Structure 1
Amino acid sequence: MTLKTYLRDKLPYLLAMAFAVVFTAVLLSVLRVHPSAVAFLCLVFSLCGLIPLAAEGAVKLAYYREAAARLDALGEKYLFSELMDEAGFAEGEFFCEAMAAVNKSMNDHVSAARRDMSEYREYVETWVHEIKTPIASARLTLENHPWEQTAALEEELFEIDGYVEQALFYARSGAVERDYLVKAMPLREAAASAVKKYARSLVGSGFQLELDGLDAIAYSDPKWVEFILGQLVSNAVKYRGPQPRLTFSQRVEAASVTLIVADNGPGIRPEDLPRVFDKGFTGQNGRMLATKSTGLGLYLCKKLCDRLGLGLGLRSVEGRGTAAELTFPKGRFHLAE
């Protein structure tokens, strides 16, 4: 609230008081009261109306200005009602009570939404663990009863298992701290685990692999890092060139260790590059080169890296390949938020 706003709000009162003063002055003049007495009476009458109005305005303006300053300085705006002092006037008390009621209602809705999300996440995690059993049984059946379509079915089961795992990590991405263990992690072992998981696809696509020179050690949770690397390897397989090559290299700096995963695929168009981490964005390559692109892989990788305190960047030249850089802070354990 400003002084201008307050005066505009009190304008009917001021007009009524001015009319009363003028009417009193005219009436006293008609009754032949001495002009000095008329002036004195009008002054007293005006002061009796203006002094309480000024005092009320000073209290209200000070209160609302303090409230506005606290609101501007507050990062979590929903805590505003908790920091408000008692107003000391009727409008302010109603304002505080209304803010408290609104805050309570919002907290109730947020709590209900969090419970629903928690229940849904637990359901997804349970479903993922349950669905892995029939997938494993189907694989075992194919191994025991091979036929001409076995390889194709195994490839489809691998795709299904990948989407199921993606759903699991997506569900867990909102609460990484519940299942996060930091420990020393050799980059070569992390890269080898991701390559081993996608070995069938890499070999079937004729990839040339390079993992030389990986001797650095990073600190993170190997399980989460393996999933992130797996998504990067999966993208390299999905968007491969005629003579595909996948290279793992490292860059060691004073404050960080970076694992670089580079391919020689078609690359990413410059106009698509700023949006590759957006949820559901597939870009030109997703529309033209891949029939199973969901636009969730890189989005989920970026989300997990942000939660784990890791850096993830992408460099690409159209027609010459793409390089993803996974950066681990060096010299300290990096815990989840």
Structure 2
Amino acid sequence: MNGKLYWKNKLPFLIFQLLCMLTLSFFLLAVGNSLDSILLILFAWILICATIMIFAYQKRKKEMVKLLRFQEQLREQYLIPELMKIPKRADDQVFYFLLKAAEKSMLEHIEVIQRERADYKEYIEQWIHEIKTPITAMKLLCENNQYPFTRELLVELEKTTRYTEQTLYYARSEHTEKDYSIHEIRLLEIVHNAIADNKYLLTKNNVTINVSKVDYMIFSDEKWVRFILNQLIINAVKYRTEQFKIDIYSKQQNDKICLYVEDNGIGISANDLPRVFEKGFTGENGRIRQNATGIGLYLCKRLCDKLGIGLDLVSNTNGTTVILSFNINHYIHQVQS
């Protein structure tokens, strides 16, 4: 609470007290009281008035500081009236009931928005599941009828599948805990499946992939980790160079299994590195290539945070290396051994 502003607001009251003192002093002089007795009365008046006002100021300041601390700790700050007691002062009660009305209105508005979001999310998920059927049918038709144009069509169908998967995972990324299943999985199998998901993209762009030393077992959700790997491979190919290659390998470092996805692409500028995981950020390379959405790495970061997977990125003009870090569950390993 601003002390200067508080005392400034009290200025009319102080002026009123001063006028009262002057009026009383003139009256006491008129009826024959001595100057000493009048000064004594004024001194007592000032002392009592100052004591009461300072006490009221300290009490009011303490209440306001406490309220501000509550407000800072609240995640949903519109709920501050729930932590407030009904004030005793009449003017404070007016503001309190205004806050309660605003809180009620906000809660009703949030409820409507949450309901609309849930309906929209349900529609998106249903649409994606429905669209997968014709995409799969077209894939089968192209694979069973090998012609030059069907190979090109398969690349586009693979791209369409990636976009639909990205939309689905984006819709579910807010509440991944309702969709994932953590169990022991073989890292090599996930890597091979991710490569198979992008086989037409890799073939069309003449990408060489080297996989080595990934025969580790990790505890995570296979579907979500596979999606993250897909995004990393797609992102790498998007910023490829001639004679482009991707090296995928893993190492055990202390209590973590680290999976490396390393490429020799154009790299990321030092200015863009701190922001690569921000939603919608495309950076210098994205503006040059004009085909970036800024969603891929953002989704990877968001899902990794939800799954407890470390995600780091190192880049220079010689290429980019993305590192996924999986925690080793020592307790489960001890039980199994």
Could you say if the C-alpha distance between residues 252 and 42 of structure 1 is closer, same or farther in structure 2, counting changes exceeding 3 Å? same
Picking from 309, 312, 321, the partner of 1:323 is 321
Residue 95 of structure 1 deviates from its aligned partner by 3.9
1:303 and 2:306 matched: no
Q: What CA distance in whole angstroms lies between the structure 1 residues aligned with 2:64 and 2:115?
A: 36
Confirm or deny: 8 A CA contact 2:212 2:250 kept in the other structure. no
Residue 212 of structure 2: SS of its match in structure 1?
A: coil
Confirm or deny: 8 A CA contact 2:158 2:198 kept in the other structure. no
Task: Determine the structure 2 residue equivalent to 1:294.
Answer: 293
1:1-337 to 2 correspondences below 5 Å: 1=1, 3-42=3-42, 53=53, 56-74=56-74, 77-288=77-288, 290-318=289-317, 320-331=318-329
Larger mean Cα displacement after TM superposition, 72-81 or 217-226: 72-81
Q: Count how many residue pairs are aligned between Structure 1 and Structure 2.
A: 331
Larger mean Cα displacement after TM superposition, 180-189 or 89-98: 89-98
In the TM superposition, what whole-angstrom CA distance separates every residue of 1:81-107 from its partner, at most 9, and x where no partner exists? 322234333244334333333333322
Give the residue type in structure 1 aligned to 2:174. Answer: G
In the TM superposition, what whole-angstrom CA distance separates every residue of 1:59-91 from its partner, at most 9, and x where no partner exists? 433322332343345565444332223433324
Residue 211 of structure 1: SS of its match in structure 2?
A: strand
Residue 116 of structure 1 deviates from its aligned partner by 1.8
Could you say if the C-alpha distance between residues 280 and 332 of structure 1 is closer, same or farther in structure 2, counting changes exceeding 3 Å? farther
Give the residue type in structure 2 aligned to 1:123. Answer: Y
Q: What CA distance in whole angstroms lies between the structure 2 residues aligned with 1:40 and 1:314?
A: 78
In the TM superposition, what whole-angstrom CA distance separates every residue of 1:287-310 from its partner, at most 9, and x where no partner exists? 33x453222111111111122221
Residue 245 of structure 1 deviates from its aligned partner by 1.7
In the TM superposition, what whole-angstrom CA distance separates every residue of 1:213-251 from its partner, at most 9, and x where no partner exists? 112211110100001101111122222222222111112
Could you say if the C-alpha distance between residues 38 and 228 of structure 1 is closer, same or farther in structure 2, counting changes exceeding 3 Å? same
After superposition, the CA RMSD in angstroms is 2.6
Q: What CA distance in whole angstroms lies between the structure 2 residues aligned with 1:16 and 1:175?
A: 62
Could you say if the C-alpha distance between residues 6 and 270 of structure 1 is closer, same or farther in structure 2, counting changes exceeding 3 Å? closer
Residue 130 of structure 1: SS of its match in structure 2?
A: helix
Q: What CA distance in whole angstroms lies between the structure 2 residues aligned with 1:86 and 1:254?
A: 56
Q: What CA distance in whole angstroms lies between the structure 2 residues aligned with 1:73 and 1:116?
A: 29
Residue 93 of structure 2: SS of its match in structure 1?
A: helix
Residue 323 of structure 1: SS of its match in structure 2?
A: strand
Confirm or deny: 8 A CA contact 2:158 2:200 kept in the other structure. no
Confirm or deny: 8 A CA contact 2:268 2:320 kept in the other structure. yes
Confirm or deny: 8 A CA contact 1:63 1:87 kept in the other structure. no
Q: What CA distance in whole angstroms lies between the structure 1 residues aligned with 2:96 and 2:119?
A: 34
Q: What CA distance in whole angstroms lies between the structure 2 residues aligned with 1:196 and 1:242?
A: 22
Confirm or deny: 8 A CA contact 1:21 1:46 kept in the other structure. no
Task: Determine the structure 1 residue equivalent to 2:335.
Answer: none
Give the residue type in structure 1 aligned to 2:114. Answer: R
Could you say if the C-alpha distance between residues 273 and 88 of structure 1 is closer, same or farther in structure 2, counting changes exceeding 3 Å? same
In the TM superposition, what whole-angstrom CA distance separates every residue of 1:27-59 from its partner, at most 9, and x where no partner exists? 432444333443455456657766664554454
TM-score by length of 2: 0.87
- The answer for unaligned runs of 5 or more in structure 2 is 332-337
Q: What CA distance in whole angstroms lies between the structure 2 residues aligned with 1:125 and 1:218?
A: 29
In the TM superposition, what whole-angstrom CA distance separates every residue of 1:120-178 from its partner, at most 9, and x where no partner exists? 11111111111112222322333455544211122111111111111111111111111
- The answer for unaligned runs of 5 or more in structure 1 is none
Give the residue type in structure 1 aligned to 2:325. Answer: T
Could you say if the C-alpha distance between residues 219 and 151 of structure 1 is closer, same or farther in structure 2, counting changes exceeding 3 Å? same
TM-score by length of 1: 0.87
Fraction of identical pairs, as percent: 36
